[in-house]
Amino acid sequence: MKKQTIRDIDLHGRRVFLRVDYNVQFVDGQILDDHRLRESIPTICTLQEAGARIVICSHRGRPGGKVVEELSNVPVAQHLSKLLGNEVATVSDCIGPEAQAAANALEPGEVLVLENVRFYSEEENNDPEFAQALAKLADVYVSDAFGTAHRAHSSVVGVPEHLPAVAGLLMEREVNYLSSVIDNPNRPLGLVLGGAKVAEKLSILEFLCDSADVICVGGGIANTFLIAQGIDVGASLAEPDRIEDAFRVMRKAAKRPDLRLVLPRDVVISDASGDIVTTVSVNLIPPDFRILDIGPDTNKDFQAALKPMQTIAWNGPMGLFEREPFDHGSLEMAKFLANLPDAMTVVGGGETAAAVARAGVSDRISHCSTGGGASLQLLEGRSLPGLEALLDA
């Protein structure tokens, strides 16, 4: 990564504005997935060991510039305290006298979590005065919020205009892994794309058609490609206005004889009631049925195509993985990638990482990204505003 990190700056006794992505959900007071919190721990511990005074800034959800109690950062701070094994302080605001006094009172190694920064509409509007108010809380800016690095928000790009700004260890790791997929991958290179919307994946498909050796397309986005092949997908989720885009990708792939574009040949379908679930060829989908997962033969095709790959990036589940029995394709893909002994495997996107976690193989994937949109943007070869705002190495 061509940016400075926390290793390149003196932090002792300095107040550090640490932007993280703790956009997590709670149910009945219990956190559903603390992956993003755990991934930030190495940076926090390194800052503590350096004697920094740590002011943590994060958003939660989309409160629309209003205070929404259910989206407070207080329960996040309480869970972070358990992970760190020491007390984490909180305040009821992210700017102003209370936040300023709490930040100033921190001793070296102590941690303060500010209230949800999106309680202010100025955050998403990248308001200069709001960014300056946030910057007053610290002496140094550290970004570990890879999940929001594609957003030009006040706490992401505005604050770095006022403070020396460097990357945290998570940001560094995310960028290094994802950049290696497009800049200098160990070949051959495989790409697995799923999820619901073709529009979100078109750029990466077109971009990597020039460099990938295998592209496997599943999930809801595969349905639009099937329609482009003249296949009737019944009542399945599809984007008819993107059929020409799918044609364009297939034509581009066809111009490279060394590129394999693999689409489903069998799928798991269900009727509207959900009472009938069966597996059929993509050519035999009844009118009132929906495709909800890839079938076993498609799974075999994907795995056979991907097995020789030395680098594999996966973004987007293979089906409606939140519900059985439509989780099989995603879970099988996760287990398959985990069992490749020599390949570098990179998983991007919250749903995809959740599928990997459900499969119980997160620790056997080379890198599970904390950012969906940001990881896609990097894989598309586009820059991230939150990364560009940091000091060059």
Dihedral sign, Cα of residue 306, residue 310, residue 315, residue 321: positive
Active site residue 197: yes
For residue 81 the two structure tokens come to 């305290």
Dihedral sign, Cα of residue 92, residue 96, residue 98, residue 102: positive
Residue in 51, 65, 109, 197 annotated catalytic: 197
Note whether 171 and 387 are within 8 A (CB): yes
Task: Annotate 99-149 with DSSP letters as a single string.
Answer: HHHHHHHPPTT-EEE---GGGSHHHHTT-HHHHHHHHTT-SEEEE--GGGT
Note whether 154 and 126 are within 8 A (CB): yes
Task: Annotate 247-302 with DSSP letters as a single string.
Answer: HHHHHHHHT-TT-EEE--SEEEEE-TTS--EEEEETT---TT-EEEEE-HHHHHHH
Neighbours of 107 (CB within 10 A): 8
Residue in 51, 65, 109, 373 annotated catalytic: 373
CA distance 221 to 202: 10
**Which residue from 322, 44, 320 is spatially nearest to 169, judged by alpha carbons?**
44
Active site residue 2: no
Active site residue 274: no
Gyration radius of the chain's alpha carbons: 22
Those residues with Cβ within 8 angstroms of residue 230's Cβ, 6 or more apart along the chain or in another chain? none
Residue in 15, 36, 151, 201 annotated catalytic: 36
Those residues with Cβ within 8 angstroms of residue 290's Cβ, 6 or more apart along the chain or in another chain? 234, 235, 236, 237, 269, 270, 271, 272
Residue in 147, 219, 350, 371 annotated catalytic: 350
Catalytic residues: 36, 197, 350, 373
